[in-house]
Amino acid sequence: MNLPASAGLSFSSAAERMFQYNESEVLGEDISMLMPSPDRERHGRYLNNYLETGERKVIGIGRLTNARRRDGSIFPIDLSIGEAYGTEQRIFTGFIRDLTETRNRERRLQDLQHELAHVSRVTAMGTLASALAHELNQPLTAIANYMEASADLVDSTDPQDRDMLREAVGEAAGQALRAGEIIRSLREFIQRGETDRQSESLRLILNEGAALAFAGMDSSGIDFDLLVPSDADHVLTNRVQLQQVIINLVRNAVEAMQERQGRRLRISSKREPDGKIRISVEDNGPGLSPDIQKRLFTPFNTSKARGMGVGLSICQTIVEGHGGRIWADRSVLGGMAFHFTLDPCEEADND
């Protein structure tokens, strides 16, 4: 499309299709007829300013702007204008690319992104429900077992049975409180995206977490080591959430060693060169294939016949919420080693 200062000299067939004008309708007309407001009204002033001062705003530069079709519809274009000198007049040539399809693709991409966000929210709700079911299963099962034992003892008049009844009821109440703590802790984590952390002794939490994990499992014959040096003991953590990580990892390790003779489980901590505290849970089970290892922390991925595949995903969420990372590799014991890092509590270390 060639244009002098104000009138069209030629109009290509591509321009005819783009603007819905025949060439005969454009030739000799002011080119501003193809522009929407406010460019239409500004065109003459801009062109005169360029001819007088040489100040370029579009010519030789190009820009994204809008154009106007015969039917009045506006569409986006990529506009470039070249300049040439004829024998009698200055000639401007406009190169226009219709960006309608590009914009449509962008809008479609935005729509798909909104749809994906919606699906992600729904998936997150499903993951949360599964996570709650997974995490609450252990304390609720313990409550059921304690209450079943209590029912068998409630009619007994034997003082020893009465003592056992009181102990069972007390343990059930403790597990009920633990279930409430799990719900509260997960709710706070989701609402704030962070955890309430304070100085805690790793030795105590790891020991308690392992004991809770062993409850209801066949832990007989396991050679269990807990190695926590003094310089890798105190960490900044949420006690309940850290216990959840330990329970998941220990239960996985015990289940992995079911068919092993001479089962070995080791939980240890050490200070890393970057100052973080690394906690490791290692077993001498059969290990995992490389393919399974790649997907270990993906929700609903499991190698267990009846597993839900959310335990390790929960561990990852908790550890990353603490500002740490979690990974797995082969253990020197022969099975798997799961490692994760936490921030140290320097004040406690200096006590």
Listing DSSP states for 241-284 in one string gives HHHHHHHHHHHHHHHHTTT-SS-EEEEEEEE-TTSPEEEEEEE-
- Is pLDDT of 325 > 50? yes
pLDDT digits (tens, 9 = 90+) for 70-104: 887 777 777 777 776 766 677 777 778 777 666 55
Per-residue model confidence as pLDDT tens digits over 126-180? 666 666 767 777 788 888 888 888 887 777 777 787 788 888 888 888 888 888 7
Four-point Cα dihedral 315, 316, 318, 323, nearest 10: 140
Domains in the chain: ranges and CATH:
2-98 (3.30.450.20), 100-193 (1.10.287.130), 194-351 (3.30.565.10)
What is the pTM for the complete model shown? 0.47
**3-state SS class at 309:** coil
Three-class SS state of 344: strand
Q: What is the pLDDT of residues 250-290, one digit of tens each?
A: 988 988 898 888 889 999 999 999 999 999 999 999 888 77
